[in-house]
Structure 1
Amino acid sequence: MAIIKVIIPAYNEEKAIGHVIAAIPKIVNEIIVISNNSTDNTKAIAINAGATVLSENKMGYGYACLKGLGHIASQEIKPDIIVFLDGDYSDFPEELTQLVTPIIDENIDFVIGSRVSTLREKGSMTPQQVFGNWLACFLMNLFFDAKFTDLGPFRAIKYQTLLDLQMQDKTYGWTVEMQLKILKQNFTYVEIPVRYKNRIGVSKVSGTLKGTIMAGIKIISWIFKYTFK
């Protein structure tokens, strides 16, 4: 049976994190929550819910993910699959089984949960998120003949594949960096349509003008960096 570990970056998600952890299927061997400089009760709630909780004081999605990977690297028994999941309860964690199935059954390297419009709750993605996702995927498809439709944060990947990607981005560009490196290194990938609902609380990225602009700049810069590399 595949060893599966979940990495959840979380910044002040005390109202959501317990729901997220509770909804994760029992096939998961370890749930790793990285408190990214949280000032609320995120850590305590996650611990009480049964997660392994780490702290990363450097703000940034990538910093948090790399912290989780550092924890896994220190363990004697390595996982087969890593799943990344947001801590705001906008995804449906129970759909994790759908994401890991192509890896287990078909030997696919990377699976994205695509937040298709027909399965998205109204208002769950801001207009700037929808446009940003479309633009990023359009450019990847144009330059790399990709088939991506989303930069969805709910994703599963073989652990060895993830190591081979040598991820670097510390902030907003983590998701697009992963997809670009999958394309450049010719790993196999598929998308699985997933449901998406309004998050609990306010987004720290798309919910602010600064976050939206910074994320957009980082995503586009990664795409052009790899296009002309």
Structure 2
Amino acid sequence: MSATVDVVLPCLDEAAALPRVLAAMPEGYRAIVVDNGSTDGSADVARAHGALVVLEARRGFGAAVHAGVLAAEADLVAILDADGSLDPADLPRLAASVLAGEADLVLGRRRPEPRSAWPLHARIANRALAGAIRRASGIALHDLGPMRVARRADLLALDLRDRRSGYPLEMLLRAASAGLRVRELEVPYRPRIGRSKVTGTIRGTLTAVSDMRRILKEHRTDLANRGAAPNR
């Protein structure tokens, strides 16, 4: 019998993608669609396809994911983009690593299929940020990983504060500081349905990079205040 996992899907105007994403949810995995101000009827589409819908008025990736984690009830929580670029069928493989005690936070390392599924400017930004994360945390990381699985209690204990694009990075840095074991597993990454609000534009990518630089700066300041040296 599959373990029960709550899957948090932050959503802003993803009505076209949601039917395929929700239909692909594995048995025992409950979809929690967090509508972050959609104007295309995403919430109605999600309800029609059996998802629990949470409304989060405060705009931002972190705000949406945090609302979903709070609404979750399962021991394990997955985070997944709602745009169809990632297949929910890959979630059990990531969850198995947590359930087996091999890791506390598992990320899906994106393998673009085809390569054009991941725009060049976004891949370059991701590579640079992954390098910064390795230096700041010591985690052997290659991708920020928009598909993630962890225990709900561990995520809440991290006390994440960012409510914008810096949320995924803050999660990794705080996980490292808390001694959580972080692991990457490759997952296929396919062309999303519709236009991305982040990687689909250079402006969106630059905004995300700016948010993450802010999180890195705050992390270094926190380490300095605690008298700890960042990893090099």
TM-score, normalized by length of structure 1? 0.92
Output the CA distance in 1 between the equivalents of 2:77 and 2:185: 16
Amino acid at match of 1:209: I
Deviation by residue 1:1-47 (Cα, 9 ceiling, x = unmatched): 7431010011111110111111110121x210011100012111111
Runs of at least 5 residues in structure 1 that lack an aligned partner in the other structure? 73-77
Amino acid at match of 2:221: F
Amino acid at match of 1:20: V
What is the SS of the residue equivalent to 1:79? coil
> Residue 64 of structure 2 corresponds to which residue in structure 1?
64
> Residue 171 of structure 2 corresponds to which residue in structure 1?
178
> Residue 120 of structure 1 corresponds to which residue in structure 2?
113
Following superposition, the deviation at residue 55 of structure 1 comes to 1.3
Answering whether residue 154 of structure 2 is matched by residue 153 of structure 1, we say no
**Which of 186, 204, 229 is residue 211 of structure 1 equivalent to?**
204
Within a 5 Å distance, the mapping from 1:44-193 to structure 2 comes to 44-72=44-72, 78-116=73-111, 119-193=112-186
> How many percent identity over aligned positions?
29
> Residue 35 of structure 2 corresponds to which residue in structure 1?
35
Amino acid at match of 1:33: V
Output the CA distance in 1 between the equivalents of 2:126 and 2:205: 12
Answering whether residue 14 of structure 2 is matched by residue 19 of structure 1, we say no
What is the SS of the residue equivalent to 2:161? coil
Runs of 4+ off more than 4 Å: none
Output the CA distance in 1 between the equivalents of 2:88 and 2:3: 18
Moved more, 47-56 or 207-216: 207-216
Deviation by residue 1:166-212 (Cα, 9 ceiling, x = unmatched): 11111111111111111111111111100000000000112223311
Output the CA distance in 1 between the equivalents of 2:172 and 2:82: 21
Kept in 2: contact 1:2–1:80 (CA 8 A):
no
Output the CA distance in 2 between the equivalents of 1:37 and 1:159: 25
Matched length: 221
What is the SS of the residue equivalent to 1:194? strand
Moved more, 185-194 or 135-144: 135-144
Output the CA distance in 2 between the equivalents of 1:184 and 1:135: 21
Kept in 1: contact 2:17–2:83 (CA 8 A):
yes
Following superposition, the deviation at residue 223 of structure 1 comes to 1.6
Following superposition, the deviation at residue 144 of structure 1 comes to 2.4
TM-score, normalized by length of structure 2? 0.91
Kept in 1: contact 2:139–2:182 (CA 8 A):
no
> Residue 196 of structure 1 corresponds to which residue in structure 2?
189
Following superposition, the deviation at residue 143 of structure 1 comes to 2.9
Runs of at least 5 residues in structure 2 that lack an aligned partner in the other structure? 223-232
Amino acid at match of 1:148: L
Amino acid at match of 1:27: G
Output the CA distance in 1 between the equivalents of 2:102 and 2:205: 35
Output the CA distance in 2 between the equivalents of 1:2 and 1:209: 39
Kept in 1: contact 2:69–2:152 (CA 8 A):
no
Amino acid at match of 1:3: T
Output the CA distance in 1 between the equivalents of 2:79 and 2:10: 8
Kept in 2: contact 1:2–1:79 (CA 8 A):
no
Kept in 2: contact 1:80–1:159 (CA 8 A):
yes
